[in-house]
């Protein structure tokens, strides 16, 4: 029997898998960002993706107000899935969510087999000047195009703007108002992944994630920008599988 909850999506249930890889998307992203990962991962790993409220089949649900709310809800959904080893992968906003989820799981004595954080600077380096969520719709659309997270043609369609921009603005508010709190750091082995031309994170910032781990830390760079995960998907998944093996 596969995993299926309000928050967790599985496109290829693998009830006999030895490990579950739980993926958290970026701001404005949805579970389908990881929809084809299962096809490129061995059968002994089950890929599960988190679906945030307000998008796709969760359209109409209230959007989240804070990172605490997001992390607490996702941790509670993951807790029953820890009947076998789990690994957690987050990209951009999802990296901070994955980090905070892992901290909450530790309060229940659950330590993931691995924590992958991608495309985000360390949680204690929150930029207080970040105000993307306060931009008007045109400014918000320009930021999305700059990052490569959404094609300009899509955002030129008014219906698409009306659907996506409130979700994206809410996610940006969530991450831009996030404040890191000192406390126990994850003991799980951690890998920091980033694109070598990502304006949001460079080699020095990636290295400073080490301060947020009580375990072994590896930094891995890939060619590309903030959404290097798309063109480098196969290389990233090859690395993830090798790490989890």
CB 34, CB 23: distance < 8 Å: yes
Residue 233 lies in a domain: yes
Residue 12 lies in a domain: yes
Q: Return the closest-CA partner of residue 167 out of 68, 91, 56, 71.
A: 56
Residue 154 lies in a domain: no
Residue 77 lies in a domain: yes
pLDDT for position 91:
97
The secondary element (H helix, E strand) that includes residue 154 is helix 152-155
pLDDT for position 2:
54
Q: Return the closest-CA partner of residue 90 out of 222, 204, 240.
A: 240
CB 111, CB 105: distance < 8 Å: yes
Residue 1 lies in a domain: no
Q: How far apart are CA 222 and CA 49, in angstroms?
A: 22
CB 69, CB 54: distance < 8 Å: no
Task: Give catalytic residues, as residue numbers.
Answer: 92
Residue 46 lies in a domain: yes
Domain span at residue 200 reads 8-126+180-244
**DSSP per residue over 46-59, as a string?**
EEEEE--TTSGGGT
Q: What CATH number does the domain containing 105 carry? A: 3.40.50.1820
For 52, residues 6+ apart whose C-beta sits below 8 A from its C-beta are 25, 29, 30, 58, 64, 70, 171
CB 174, CB 93: distance < 8 Å: yes
Q: How far apart are CA 201 and CA 5, in angstroms?
A: 33
pLDDT for position 97:
97
pLDDT for position 234:
96
Residue 34 lies in a domain: yes
Burial 18-32 (b: 16+ CB within 10 A, else e): ebbbbbbbbbbbbbe
Q: Number of folded domains in the chain?
A: 1
Note the Cα 42 to chain centre separation in Å: 21
Residue 150 lies in a domain: no
* pLDDT of the chain, 245 residues: tens digit per residue: 456 678 999 988 999 999 999 999 998 889 999 999 999 999 999 999 999 999 889 988 999 989 999 999 999 999 999 999 999 999 999 999 999 999 999 999 999 999 999 999 999 997 655 687 778 788 888 887 877 767 788 887 888 888 888 888 888 889 989 999 999 999 999 999 999 999 889 999 999 999 999 999 999 999 999 999 999 999 999 999 999 98
């Amino acid at each position: 029997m596969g995993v299926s909850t309000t928050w967790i999506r599985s496109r290829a249930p693998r009830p006999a898998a030895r490990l579950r890889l739980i993926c958290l998307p970026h701001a404005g992203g949805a579970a389908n960002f990881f929809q084809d990962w299962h096809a490129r991962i061995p059968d002994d790993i089950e890929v599960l993706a988190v679906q945030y409220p307000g998008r796709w089949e969760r359209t109409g649900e209230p959007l989240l107000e804070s990172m605490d709310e997001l992390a607490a809800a996702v941790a509670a959904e993951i807790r029953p899935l820890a009947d076998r080893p789990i690994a957690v992968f987050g990209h951009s906003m999802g990296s901070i969510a994955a980090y905070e989820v892992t901290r909450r799981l530790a309060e229940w004595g659950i330590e993931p087999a691995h924590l992958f954080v991608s495309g985000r600077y360390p949680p204690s380096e929150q930029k207080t000047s970040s105000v993307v969520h306060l931009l008007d719709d045109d400014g918000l659309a320009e930021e999305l195009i700059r990052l490569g997270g959404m094609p300009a043609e899509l955002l030129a369609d008014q219906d698409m703007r009306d659907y996506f921009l409130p979700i994206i603005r809410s996610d940006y508010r969530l991450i831009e108002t996030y404040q890191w709190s000192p406390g126990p750091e994850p003991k799980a082995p951690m890998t920091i992944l980033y694109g070598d031309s990502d304006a949001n994170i460079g080699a020095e910032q990636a290295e400073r994630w080490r301060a947020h781990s009580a375990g072994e830390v590896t930094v891995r760079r890939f060619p590309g920008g903030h959404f290097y995960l798309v063109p480098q998907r196969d290389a990233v998944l090859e690395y993830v599988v090798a790490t989890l093996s």
